[in-house]
Structure 1
Amino acid sequence: MFAMSQAPPMLRMMNVLLRPGMRTRNDPDAAFDKLLATAQRGRAPLGDDDLAALEPLRLLLRANAANPDLSPFGWRTVQEGVQSRILNRVVVRDLQRTHPDVKDQPVPAPIFVIGLPRTGTTFTYNLISRSVGNRGPLLWEMLNLGLPVTDPAQQEKIIAATTKRLSIMDKFSRDWSQVHPLIPTSEEEDFFLRDHSEMHTSAASVPAYRAWVEGADLTSDYVLLREALQVMSYGQEPRRWVLKHPADLWRMPEILNAFPDAQFVWTHRAPGKALASGCSMSEVLRHMHYVEGTVDLNAIGAEWLDLTSRGVEKAIKQRERLDEGVMVDVSYNDLVEEPEKMMHGVFEQLGMRWTEADDANLAVARDRPHHTGHKYTLERYGLDEFQVAAAFAGYKIPPSAGS
């Protein structure tokens, strides 16, 4: 089943304007080398180890170039995403060279909120990250990676520029702000600081890259995340970092390799709703990145069912090898019905103290308006509850922290 969604006028115009740039798809290696050269301009060149670590991003670019449905805007966006990740590494290495003690900045006992979309991850993440003594990476910080900006006027200038840059998304999609609003001053996913994730396959089908990333050990990617966090907090009083990204769920061993004292908070919900939400996000992204009329909804359903069920199966096996106290479980149903009791239990297991400030944060989180304009169902993507139940047969929701 192909989705026939009419592209907004701005997106159609951009695809016309960017059409000449499609020629670079014929030689994605040359395109990658140009992105690398641009990212390094004015900074010390990367060493051999870092250049080797970037090669899978070259694979990501090749895989997108091979997708016949990718539009001119899609190809441009993919290149920008690859370049931003090259630039992250360049910035980190350059600052480690000019400020050698940045490597000594503490990153104490980070907390990773893990779970599939629509399982309460954002609610839980915001409450933990906004508690006194903690912090999550703000979107504007990650999109402008560098040492902390301490001048309020300069900070406001960067935030304003970032807001303007992100606001154009609404001109390219009628639905994106309903699916995943990007707010520069809010905490966001660690995806923006790392090179790799299975979620790169959301915007476009890239089987060659997905085959690589699913079998890869991403320890070095999480080490780069740690180094980026050191840069972002350099010279500041250490706070406990709180991080989130759906694909972190099945990367616990690699995370612990980079952050030996990390703890995990796994949010649980019957997987049908999470799966439909992921498919919906992918559909919206592909309408932005694909030639009009080529988005295959059944293909999205099949990809997300396979991706998430295999990921959860890996996560179940990985948690069996975790030390006691490393994992905290959160039931979505308990979170909805008794959020205060639930979060008190989570804080206790994380070794945190609940304060009046957390009461205020909880009140704000509960009053946050929910998006109602965007609807999604499994059936839209060629799936049903029986298929989902079979694929996730080994997944049982455990007792949660507040029970």
Structure 2
Amino acid sequence: MTGTLSAEALMRQAEQETGLADFGDRWFLEPLNALVSSLNRDGELSEMGGYMQAANLTKYLGERLRLVQLLKDHPEIRDETVEVLAEIVGLPRTGSTMLHRLLACSPEVTSTFSWELLNPLPFPGDAPGDSRPRIEAAEQVTQIYLATMPEIAAIHPIDPVGYEEDVLLLDRSFISTGYTTMLKVPSYDRFLLDVDQTPAYEELKTWLKVLQWQAPARRGRKWLLKSPHHLTALPALFKVFPSCRVVMTHRTPAQTVPSYASMAAALTRPNTDRLDPAALGPFWVARFRRSLAAVIELRERHPDRFVDARYEDVQRDPVGEAKRVYAALGLPFGPAEEAAMRAWLEQNARDRHPAHHYTAEEFGLTREGLERDFAFYIDAYLKN
């Protein structure tokens, strides 16, 4: 990439594009600068990657400006009552997406749609409740996304009008493992592991209020969310959402880590011409070991806040496992819920998606090494 990214220049560009100048609390400058610095130092961005990242960061900064203005124009948004019932959390590739979309079938809960995560604010001139322009935009973005990275269809099914990970809202705070998944930013990742993420989760709560304000039918329903990112920040999650439970999904890392490395490779490749797949595996092994160790320690202090779900059990009996999790969360389960789940399963049968092909070795890993590295986790949750 020619030139370097500049947080100040990106902010000026966002101001010019929106005609706004108030970014609100500037706590976000620390993570933004950490990300930009890592991109400049370590990112080895291609020309396309540099263009895409500058555009993405400018968009997110513009949305921060627009969010601040929206809250000024509609202070009643802050009075919205948001309760997060549960976050579905686990290593990536553990069946959390399937479980999330099944559990979200309940009329008792609501969740985040893909189209509103891509554009959580109405386009200028649109009414807050008019979702069609943003749905159409999401459909167009999805087509481009799959054309650019067709292998993603086999790794993570994308539905513009379906439920998706709330980590995309955290992207706007510049605190997100999404950046470490699609970019070469090791120093930013080290920053992310040790920074207090509480301000980002406060902003996540504000975003949920904004989404709920735009769709009043959500009022009175609890939010059910999902993202592996939350493995890095459960103390902040619990602080901001004190009643939130965690549904933790489990699958052997011998399968999940190579699968996720494959996904990271697919997402990173458009951003750099210098991708070393064999370096991805060891990076994610170290990352996930630290996160899991922290979660296991936290669980010892808050055992009642966790509900477990094994990948094999969800695959074997998805409706039965969803019913069991519902019971643990205090959600009712009846004919309507079961019918909705079975309809979703029929519409999203795995054989409708292309196969995902990868090996551990191409990412610098072996099954034996993974079983050894994650023995502490396997012994705790996957032995019986």
TM-score with structure 2 length normalisation? Answer: 0.89
CA distance in 2, matches of 1:299, 1:285: 15
Tell me, yes or no, if structure 1 residue 69 matches structure 2 residue 36.
Answer: no
Tell me, yes or no, if structure 1 residue 219 matches structure 2 residue 198.
Answer: yes
The one of 146, 150, 155 aligned to 1:179: 155
CA distance in 2, matches of 1:146, 1:174: 28
1:100 maps to which residue? 75
Tell me, yes or no, if structure 1 residue 157 matches structure 2 residue 136.
Answer: no
The one of 260, 275, 279 aligned to 1:299: 279
Residues 63 and 208 of structure 1 are in contact (CA less than 8 Å); yes or no, is this contact kept in structure 2? yes
| 1:205 alignment partner, SS class | coil
- Cα distance change of structure 1 residues 398 and 342 upon mapping to structure 2, 3 Å threshold: farther
- Cα distance change of structure 1 residues 277 and 31 upon mapping to structure 2, 3 Å threshold: farther
Q: How does 1:3-152 map to 2 (within 5 A)?
A: 22-25=1-4, 28-38=6-16, 41-43=18-20, 45-47=22-24, 50-67=25-42, 69-146=44-121
2:263 maps to which residue? 281
The answer to which of 248-257 and 389-398 deviates more is: 389-398
One-letter identity of the residue aligned with 2:158 = L
Q: CA deviation at 1:321?
A: 1.7
Q: Which runs of 5+ in 2 are unaligned?
A: none
- Cα distance change of structure 1 residues 250 and 63 upon mapping to structure 2, 3 Å threshold: closer
2:341 maps to which residue? 362
Residues 61 and 79 of structure 1 are in contact (CA less than 8 Å); yes or no, is this contact kept in structure 2? no
One-letter identity of the residue aligned with 1:319 = R
CA distance in 1, matches of 2:357, 2:371: 21
Residues 142 and 193 of structure 1 are in contact (CA less than 8 Å); yes or no, is this contact kept in structure 2? yes
Alignment RMSD (CA, Å): 2.4
Q: CA deviation at 1:151?
A: 8.3
One-letter identity of the residue aligned with 1:77 = M
| 1:328 alignment partner, SS class | strand
CA distance in 2, matches of 1:249, 1:233: 25
TM-score with structure 1 length normalisation? Answer: 0.85
One-letter identity of the residue aligned with 2:40 = A
The answer to which of 91-100 and 389-398 deviates more is: 389-398
- Cα distance change of structure 1 residues 240 and 114 upon mapping to structure 2, 3 Å threshold: same
| 2:246 alignment partner, SS class | strand
The answer to which of 89-98 and 28-37 deviates more is: 28-37
| 2:87 alignment partner, SS class | strand
2:166 maps to which residue? 190
CA distance in 2, matches of 1:256, 1:189: 18
One-letter identity of the residue aligned with 1:155 = S
- Cα distance change of structure 1 residues 46 and 204 upon mapping to structure 2, 3 Å threshold: closer
Higher helix proportion: 2
How many residues align? The count is 372
Q: CA deviation at 1:265?
A: 0.4
The one of 298, 306, 322 aligned to 1:318: 298
| 1:241 alignment partner, SS class | strand
CA distance in 1, matches of 2:2, 2:221: 47
CA distance in 2, matches of 1:87, 1:365: 35
- Cα distance change of structure 1 residues 333 and 177 upon mapping to structure 2, 3 Å threshold: closer
Q: CA deviation at 1:150?
A: 7.3
CA distance in 2, matches of 1:377, 1:193: 32
Q: Which runs of 5+ in 1 are unaligned?
A: 1-21
CA distance in 1, matches of 2:254, 2:96: 16
